[in-house]
Amino acid sequence: MAEFTMELNDEQKEVRDWLHGFAADVIRPAAAEWDEREETPWPVIQEAAKVGIYSLDFYAQQYFDPTGLGIPMAMEELFWGDAGIALSIVGTGLAAVGVLANGTEEQIGTWIPQMYGDASDVKVAAFCSSEPDAGSDVASMRTRAVYDEAKDEWVINGTKTWATNGGIANVHVVVAVVDPELGSKGHASFIIPPNTPGLAQGQKFKKHGIRASHTAEVILDNVRVPGSCLLGGKDKLDERLARARERAKKGGDRVKNAAMATFEASRPAVGAMAVGTARAAYEVALDYATTREQFGRPIIDNQGVAFQLADMRTSIDAARLLVWRASWMAVNGKPFTAAEGSMSKLFASETAKKVTAQAIQILGGNGYTREYPVERMHRDAAIYTIFEGTSEIQRLVIARTISGMSVR
């Protein structure tokens, strides 16, 4: 087990500087254009693939970093560049992690390469879980998967929403209900191969922020996939469902806590994204405050501005420390006895919203225009308090964990 440290080692610093250079030289110059176009920035993703950033190998190296700091460090630097483009680059990773976490070796080897393609033919993947009536309330999921034993096929019907890369993905990973009586414990994940009949893109959302990231509905109308597309295989599913039924008879608290721990482990990565956006806005505001003069002196000479910047920097550093702590705990198997994963996501996402708003205020009228990037950063920051569990859900998780009570 790696000791917790706040100091990156030489290899990590080298990766951080490499990512920072890519974010500064490739992502940032393209950010405003793709935000206005509201389209997937394929040329930027291709550039990321050419240098090795958009690849399973890169994310696997960061994911298995024993210090736990590889992923949050990478997320912070890429999202410092631009949140919309960065999400287009890392969005495939969510589907890939779903396969890595639940799939067999054969499924991992077959499908993950098809999610990324290569530098000459870039592909993306989509993870489809949320539904129009099932966002935070995953137990309300309606998409059904029914096993056709005679043909060894699963038949899937339903509608997914808020899917990053939904409809344009080469490979979709879809969560569906296989046993309605078990609620959220009766779910399973399925690979939908390229060009599978019955899968179609529904509404593409025009969003407030992260506009360079494609978000859409995915419609599944009698989609048939081979039995081999059930992640983990049917034997493993049957065993898991049997355990869930037995635990449900004895009382479901143990199962709920295990599920919560799984979600907790993924939330620090979103916190790191928020830290990157907040840091970017803070740096623009600091530079502006030291160069913009009013009444014959830089505006940072005024306490009203200087104190805001002090608070901004303090909050960003505190958010990063919470993210790093939770990431280290997750990779080293430390229990989240106080919902530390949710703490990191909650504080970092709220920090991003506040810091980007303060940056606009410091820039004044300039900050409100698209000539400066802070208004885009502020729009982008709003998503962090919504996806991967809203701030209200994070507070609920934390309250339940520290109290042991069923807070509602």
* 251 has a pLDDT exceeding 50: yes
**pLDDT for the residue 259:** 36
25-40 tens-digit pLDDT: 999 999 999 999 999 9
Q: What is the mean pLDDT of residues 371-392?
A: 96
**pLDDT for the residue 159:** 97
Q: What is the mean pLDDT of residues 159-179?
A: 96
| Rounded Cα distance, 314 and 112, in Å | 40
| Rounded Cα distance, 312 and 117, in Å | 40
* 369 has a pLDDT exceeding 50: yes
User: Residue 257 — very low, low, confident or very high, per pLDDT cuts 50/70/90?
Assistant: very low
**Bridge partners, 117 (sequence order):** 122
**pLDDT for the residue 255:** 42
Q: Supply 113's token pair.
A: 């390469």
Average pLDDT, the chain: 93
6-21 tens-digit pLDDT: 889 999 999 999 999 9
* 272 has a pLDDT exceeding 70: yes
**Bridge partners, 199 (sequence order):** 220
| Rounded Cα distance, 116 and 166, in Å | 15
Q: What is the mean pLDDT of residues 137-153?
A: 91
**pLDDT for the residue 261:** 42
296-340 tens-digit pLDDT: 999 999 999 999 999 999 999 999 999 999 999 998 889 999 999
Q: What is the model's pTM?
A: 0.92
* 274 has a pLDDT exceeding 90: yes
**Residues with a known catalytic role:** 388
- Residue 55 gets which letter from DSSP? S
* 230 has a pLDDT exceeding 60: yes
**pLDDT for the residue 264:** 58
Contacts of 350 (CB under 8 A, 6+ apart): 385, 391
More confidently predicted of 155 and 264: 155
Q: Supply 372's token pair.
A: 């400066």
**pLDDT for the residue 263:** 53
Q: Supply 290's token pair.
A: 């030291």
Residue 132's SS3 state is coil
Name the packing angle between helices 374-381 and 340-363 (round to 10°): 150
Q: Supply 358's token pair.
A: 């303060």
* 260 has a pLDDT exceeding 50: no
Residue entry with tokens 């509201």: 38
More confidently predicted of 35 and 255: 35
| Rounded Cα distance, 125 and 29, in Å | 25
Contacts of 140 (CB under 8 A, 6+ apart): 131, 133, 134
Alpha carbon 92 to chain centroid, angstroms: 10
* 254 has a pLDDT exceeding 70: no
Cβ pair 67, 140 in contact under 8 A: no
